[in-house]
Amino acid sequence: MILSTEFNYASILFGTEAAIKTVADAGFKGLDYSMFDLTREDNPVNHSDYEKRMQSFRKIAEDCGVYFNQTHAPFPSFKKEDGEYNTKTVPMLIRAIEATAILGAPHVVMHPQPVGDDTLEKNIEFFEALAPYCKQYGVKIAIENLISPSYFGVASELAGLLDALDPRYFTGLVDIGHASINGNAAEFLCGMGSRVTALHVHDNDGVHDSHNMPYNKGLNWDEICAALKEIDYKGDLTFEAGFYVRQFPKELAPAAYRMMAETGNYLISKIKN
């Protein structure tokens, strides 16, 4: 298990190249590359030279002694009865799969979407259509749990979707914060069991999706770590806690990432011991 983090806010502050070095210097070993904000002009998936940019980011990471352990695709993945949006977004999802392969990451995170009474069937159809690209590029899609009242907000729903898909191309990511808002993250993890191979780790008050650092809001991290140990979790511990860093001025951002890294290594020690 390695410690990883998304670094979207660091990229906004310093640019992607410098952000990679910032989080590497802070003590992280893995990088979760965010492609979700398609409104950002500097999002590489918006550009024709995205392949060159991804190759450059991978080289910078390697030079810093870190690597990309996962990415996050644009979201929402699709919208009910919005053909114009879907026509634009689906090619970006395919590009995100390819970009993930260029970065050397094993999986790209995607959100399922609530689309009505036939949500499960529509999501199966949607994800199966992406499976050929997973096969082509050697990348899995890690499907993330959402916040209720959206579908896939409880373990049985996400487990049901994953069980209906080909495990060669799909796996499960548990967002600890989302699971806590829906109820109890430890119970969610136990309900998912071995289907969980990736995480988004962050803290909240059980109501707001605040994406803060563990021990800053109120989740029971002893319980969460015990659940990860119980299911024999084999993946990485990846923070999605950028709003913790946003509390500080730019000059303190590197120190904030260092504090996050210390906290993450402490959590890993609790899971392993």
Q: In this predicted model, what pLDDT tens digit does every residue of 209-222 receive, in sequence order?
A: 999 999 999 999 99
- Find, among 104, 71, 65, 73, the residue nearest to 5 by Cα: 71
- Find, among 76, 78, 4, 15, the residue nearest to 42 by Cα: 15
Residue 3: both structure tokens together? 């410690």
Alpha-carbon Rg of the chain, whole angstroms?
A: 18
The residue type at 225: C
pLDDT (0 to 100) of residue 129: 96
Q: Nearest 5°: phi and psi at 33?
A: -90, 125
Domains of the chain, by residue range, sit at 3-272
Which parts of the chain sit beneath pLDDT 70? 38-42, 115-116
pLDDT (0 to 100) of residue 41: 66
The single residue listed with the structure tokens 């390819």 is 98
pLDDT (0 to 100) of residue 226: 98
In contact, 192 and 227? CB cutoff 8 Å: no
Taking only the tens place, the pLDDT of each residue in 67-125 is 999 999 988 887 777 888 888 888 889 999 999 999 999 999 999 987 667 889 989 99
Report the CATH number of the 3-272 domain: 3.20.20.150
Q: How many CA atoms lie within 13 A of 188 on its CB side?
A: 27
